Amino acid sequence: MKYLLVLSFFLFAVAVQSHAQQAQSPMVPGFGGVYEIPDADLLPDPSLEYRMVIDATSGPSDPSEVNPSLYRLARTLNLHAVGGVPQENIKVVAVIHSKATPSVLSNEAYQKHFKTDNPNDGLIRALSDAGVDIYICGQSLLARGYAEDPLHSDIKVSISAMTILTEYQMKGYALMSF
């Protein structure tokens, strides 16, 4: 009887494990893993063009951690991809400002300010490789004292976050705030 109980438990554990999924990150490899939901009642329409402008303002509580705004952006891209939207139908512009500002510094500048490598370096590169245009608010660079620091090579500078957000919304981009 005891043997049968142990065997039943083992078989149950194997069955549960076989149904467990691994997180996927098809559009931003290595970042923002998501799970496929095969029985979902609503999936993104793969025939639509998804245009998003991302307002990224949050920063990590510890400078050695990845910026949560950038991580959520990676998840958003991966969710659309797992949902069946082709990459060419996903257009994303992100603007970094407020507490997220230091995330876009070059690794050397980040080390100077925080005594640690920039944990966002690979994520920014992966987002850029996925086609995301990433801007830093020039106002935030000045106001937060980073104007003289070099930026990550995949970052562009805008006059402000506000002008990007209004411009892209007027162009039909959906606003998402992280």
The pLDDT profile of the chain, 178 residues, written as one tens digit per residue, is 555 444 444 444 444 444 568 999 999 999 999 999 989 999 999 999 999 999 999 999 999 999 999 999 999 999 999 999 999 999 999 999 999 999 999 999 999 999 999 999 999 999 999 999 999 999 999 999 999 999 999 999 999 999 999 999 999 999 999 9
User: What is the pTM for the complete model shown?
Assistant: 0.87
Torsion of CA 166, 172, 56, 144, to 10 degrees: -20
